[in-house]
Structure 1
Amino acid sequence: MADTSIGTPEQLRDPDYTPPLHKAIPLGIQHVLAMFVSNVTPAIIVAGAAGFGFGSNSPDFPELLYLIQMAMLFAGIATLLQTITLGPVGAGLPIVQGTSFAFLPIMIPLVAGKGVDGLAALFGGVVIGGLFHALLGTFIGRIRFALPPLVTGLVVTMIGLALVRVGIQYAAGGVPAIGTEEYGSALNWSAAVLVIVVTLALKFFTRGMLAVSAVLIGLVAGYVYAILVGILPVASITGSWNSAAAFALPDPFRYGFEFSVAAIVGFCLMAVVSAVETVGDVSGVTKGGAGREATDREITGATYADGLGTAVAGVFGSFPNTSFSQNVGLIAMTGVMSRHVVTCGAIFLIVCGLIPKVGGVIRTVPIEVLGGGVIVMFGMVVAAGVSMLSDVDWNRRNMVIFAVSLSVGLGLQLEPQAVQYLPDWASVLMVSGLLPAAFLAIVLNLVLPEHLPEDTAAPEPGRHRQPTGLPLETPRH
């Protein structure tokens, strides 16, 4: 329910309305709390996949801090593009941008075990993919027909399925601990389970700020528990704090720039799906906050900002940015449509991104504690995909498309050696599982007849047909 003490109902539905500063700032920070964990987690996961050492004495420690710092900084900058706008770039709406989980199945194989050396190709793909994403803004409306809920729901479900293994590995002690006595120990799992329990308790039994920031508070509870039981030595915290600078600016092309076919193709293909999901988020913002449909100008501007924000982030060593759906829900809950509220949150993110000591504290979160949080987040990605699939008319045709696409995509994830004779660039794309599944679903959906011969003309008992098309809001993490 909207808080009318902030303004009149008409003002609350106006994106250009500026609430009193003493209320706008807390509302903006509330938006940051809702997305903060999801925003920095991809940087930690990619660093872990690359083989970075997480200790403050590790030679990779400054690089891990930098990746976390850039995730915060460029989430804030990309959000400003959406709220303040820059010519045609930006929707002029309260859209919060952050690092996308959707690209992780592409990024992890690109950097796996390569350390810092794997980042040049990755960020080359981020820049090119971001420019391609911005280009999509000129015709995004004309390609939505190729991405109905059958396709987008499958893609989102596959993203979650590709990542749930990471959550379990983290909760058990992290990839470096596999094969040791500590891996999967009761102590490790106790930290992860505590995070899950606290998160669920806050999400379902509280309201307001506590419910919105449930995952963040759950991680704080797990962090304190890890200190008390000895998982996290206090010396590690002070070492990370002292090792991190008080202020630092971003460094362009810090990791070099490399053209990789696998990275460019992967990021460009995922940009299509991300762009269409952003359309859903823009529609969700205008529907939930103002009770109207999004205009073509808003959809085009949001897509431009998505792509340009990603391209600029890639230059400075950050990952693809996208609109965050949890913040779409927050706007519907608070009833405050002001883009200037989100601007306050963006400025807060930028300040955090310029202070590496913030990243130093985040870095000390034990992998087991983080595992509890990402189990919840990645599970929600799967649930979001299933929710989208509920809009599909499950006739035999669509069941065949889904079955074939899911079998090939999930099978390649589980058995990557099946494509070992492909060129390296093609192998990286195939073993993600995501792109072959999406490609098959799109092609089959376009070329197969609407009904298989054995389909009956009438719906089966207990079923009803629903129109295909992208739902107004695609849940995203």
Structure 2
Amino acid sequence: MAETSIGTPEQLRDPNYTPALHKAIPLGIQHVLAMFVSNVTPAIIVAGAAGFGFGSNSPDFPELLYLIQMSMLFAGLATLLQTVTIGPVGAALPIVQGTSFAFLPIMIPLVAGKGVDALAALFGGVLIGGLFHAFLGLFIGKIRFALPPLVTGLVVTMIGLALVKVGIQYSAGGVPAIGTPEYGSLLNWSAALVVVVVTLGLKFFARGMLSVSAVLAGLAVGYVYALMVGMVTFEAIGTSWSRASAFALPVPFKYGFEFSLAAVIGFALMSFVSAIETVGDVSGITKGGAGREATDKEIAGATYADGVGTALAGMFGGFPNTSFSQNVGLIAMTGVMSRHVVTCGALFLILCGLIPKVGAIIRTIPIEVLGGGVIVMFGMVVAAGISMLSDVDWNRRNMVIFAISLSIGLGLQLEPGAVQHLPDTLRILMTSGLLPAALIAIVLNLILPEELAEESTEEVSGGMAGHGSGSLPHD
């Protein structure tokens, strides 16, 4: 078996075990490949929402490269905090950190159409929100009761629903192309569909690394297709490459620092969700890799690392970091629990983050090709939320909580003009959809009496009562 060529079963379950370098390095890079696309995509989405020009000749091109660069660099540094640890910061487990999708519904309204000028408030929010996230490590175990699967499943589902529009827009030609004749053309959609088809084919019919990195492979095939049909040229690739420097260090407070109440509140509230997600990932790693429960020290250390990594990223122009669930599955698949394997991957990410030419190549990917990958990724976020909701006992109480939270949250997101008279800070928070849905679900779950749980669901379901726990499909 593959495991015996790496170490004994006891060694493979030990986070402190170090395989031989010629085996540890490829295993570490495999972790990076599994999360690479998901890690850099939020930077591209935020830049697009802010109105950055995406062409290699655009004046915003260096800023876009810098955001991609910081996504890689600080994902690597945050991962190092988890694997190597500094005092109480870090779980000393093979946890891969990366840019979180969960914060996108907060970030997009903050920067929408405002260009580079909006980034000072955005990264101010990331910094302060990261410090708050680290503070949660002091009592993370004590607040889990307020976030049962009903709440966390709703929140994750809402994150996906808030973002699926982005995948469609990118596949059709990108936000700047809306209203133009080429928007939604067959050529644009063909590039996105190539990515989707290849990704699904590899995910379900391939094995090993090809299956794990299906989205990355799908994007690679889509990129080749785009070259063949003229959507990207070698001249554009050369221009991007020549405009990017060979090596660059991060710049502290490159975009300044601005205190925005909306940004701070939004990032702080989303930290609760991110922290609980990390608790789940830590538990998944220890169960899947070592066959045991996570300790309180490991959970607290992982939460500290989440927050400190996010705060550091905010200082230099990076986005919020969190543990990546796809890498939890990779550990279960390979059976290798070594944190030092993930350290090798973290060092590779840091190296990529210090070389802007890597970001330049990423930026030459046509937005339509990226859209195909985004459709798959954000669709999977929705599916993950539904999977979490399958653990809910669908009695009348829980159905009412879910119905009210989803209706108000999704409704405000679809019709932001309904709260146009609110103060700017509150309006931004409300129209994210995510925060009002989460807050309503949390509050109702805490105050509605449990005795409603014993009553029939027929009154609210029109006779189409659910079948209790597990009535929705599991993975």
TM-score between the two structures when normalised by the length of structure 1: 0.96
Tell me which residue corresponds to 2:264: 264
What does 1:439-454 align with in structure 2 at a 5 Å threshold? Answer: 439-452=439-452
The alpha carbon displacement at 1:451 in A equals 3.0
Asked if the contact 2:396/2:456 (under 8 Å) is kept, the reply is no
1:95-131 CA-to-partner distances (Å, cap 9, x unmatched) read 0000000000000000000000000000000000000
Which stretch shows the higher mean deviation, 382-391 or 54-63? 54-63
Q: 1:265 to 1:453 in 2, by over 3 A?
A: closer
The yes-or-no answer on 1:146 pairing with 2:146 is: yes
SS for the counterpart of 2:98 is strand
Tell me which residue corresponds to 1:326: 326
For 2:144 and 2:137, the matched residues in 1 are separated by: 12
Asked if the contact 2:248/2:354 (under 8 Å) is kept, the reply is yes
Tell me which residue corresponds to 2:209: 209
For 1:24 and 1:426, the matched residues in 2 are separated by: 48
Identity %: 82
For 1:292 and 1:169, the matched residues in 2 are separated by: 43
For 1:376 and 1:349, the matched residues in 2 are separated by: 23
For 1:272 and 1:228, the matched residues in 2 are separated by: 46
SS for the counterpart of 1:98 is strand
Tell me which residue corresponds to 2:398: 398
Tell me which residue corresponds to 1:251: 251
The yes-or-no answer on 1:293 pairing with 2:293 is: yes
What does 1:155-174 align with in structure 2 at a 5 Å threshold? Answer: 155-174=155-174
Tell me which residue corresponds to 1:463: 467
SS for the counterpart of 1:322 is strand
Tell me which residue corresponds to 2:179: 179
Amino acid at match of 1:334: T
Tell me which residue corresponds to 1:60: 60
The alpha carbon displacement at 1:462 in A equals 8.2
The alpha carbon displacement at 1:55 in A equals 1.1
The alpha carbon displacement at 1:463 in A equals 3.3
For 2:229 and 2:320, the matched residues in 1 are separated by: 37
For 1:448 and 1:295, the matched residues in 2 are separated by: 32
The alpha carbon displacement at 1:57 in A equals 1.3
1:45-101 CA-to-partner distances (Å, cap 9, x unmatched) read 000000000111111000000000000000000000000000000000000000000
Amino acid at match of 1:139: F
For 1:276 and 1:429, the matched residues in 2 are separated by: 21
For 1:134 and 1:400, the matched residues in 2 are separated by: 33
SS for the counterpart of 1:215 is helix
Tell me which residue corresponds to 1:284: 284
Asked if the contact 2:398/2:453 (under 8 Å) is kept, the reply is no
Tell me which residue corresponds to 2:460: none
Asked if the contact 1:2/1:335 (under 8 Å) is kept, the reply is no
Asked if the contact 1:2/1:336 (under 8 Å) is kept, the reply is no
Tell me which residue corresponds to 1:306: 306
The yes-or-no answer on 1:227 pairing with 2:211 is: no
The alpha carbon displacement at 1:464 in A equals 4.6
For 2:273 and 2:166, the matched residues in 1 are separated by: 22
SS for the counterpart of 1:451 is helix
Asked if the contact 1:2/1:333 (under 8 Å) is kept, the reply is no
Tell me which residue corresponds to 2:16: 16
What does 1:27-38 align with in structure 2 at a 5 Å threshold? Answer: 27-38=27-38
For 2:102 and 2:146, the matched residues in 1 are separated by: 19
Amino acid at match of 1:100: S
The alpha carbon displacement at 1:452 in A equals 2.5
CA RMSD of aligned residues (A): 1.7
For 1:322 and 1:197, the matched residues in 2 are separated by: 29
Asked if the contact 2:74/2:313 (under 8 Å) is kept, the reply is yes
The yes-or-no answer on 1:133 pairing with 2:123 is: no
For 1:61 and 1:294, the matched residues in 2 are separated by: 43
The yes-or-no answer on 1:421 pairing with 2:425 is: no
SS for the counterpart of 2:452 is coil
The yes-or-no answer on 1:78 pairing with 2:78 is: yes
Tell me which residue corresponds to 1:470: none
Give the unaligned 5+ runs of structure 1: 467-473
Asked if the contact 2:390/2:469 (under 8 Å) is kept, the reply is no
Tell me which residue corresponds to 1:469: none
Instruction: Detail structure 1 runs of 4+ shifted over 6 Å in the superposition.
Output: none
Asked if the contact 2:219/2:370 (under 8 Å) is kept, the reply is yes
Q: 1:453 to 1:293 in 2, by over 3 A?
A: closer
For 1:277 and 1:96, the matched residues in 2 are separated by: 13
SS for the counterpart of 2:322 is strand
For 2:175 and 2:14, the matched residues in 1 are separated by: 48
Asked if the contact 1:72/1:352 (under 8 Å) is kept, the reply is yes
TM-score between the two structures when normalised by the length of structure 2: 0.96
Asked if the contact 2:394/2:468 (under 8 Å) is kept, the reply is no
The yes-or-no answer on 1:411 pairing with 2:411 is: yes
Tell me which residue corresponds to 2:111: 111
Amino acid at match of 1:146: A
Amino acid at match of 1:279: V
Which stretch shows the higher mean deviation, 257-266 or 445-454? 445-454
Amino acid at match of 2:343: T
For 2:120 and 2:419, the matched residues in 1 are separated by: 24
For 1:125 and 1:453, the matched residues in 2 are separated by: 39
1:244-270 CA-to-partner distances (Å, cap 9, x unmatched) read 000000000000100000000000000
Q: Alignment length, in residue pairs? A: 467
Asked if the contact 2:125/2:260 (under 8 Å) is kept, the reply is yes
Amino acid at match of 1:435: L
Q: 1:409 to 1:6 in 2, by over 3 A?
A: same
Give the unaligned 5+ runs of structure 2: 458-463
Amino acid at match of 1:374: V
Asked if the contact 2:395/2:454 (under 8 Å) is kept, the reply is no
Tell me which residue corresponds to 1:386: 386
The alpha carbon displacement at 1:461 in A equals 9.1
Amino acid at match of 1:463: H
Asked if the contact 1:156/1:385 (under 8 Å) is kept, the reply is yes
Asked if the contact 1:99/1:320 (under 8 Å) is kept, the reply is yes
SS for the counterpart of 1:272 is helix
For 2:73 and 2:466, the matched residues in 1 are separated by: 51
Tell me which residue corresponds to 2:461: none
Amino acid at match of 2:434: L
Which stretch shows the higher mean deviation, 51-60 or 429-438? 51-60
Tell me which residue corresponds to 1:435: 435
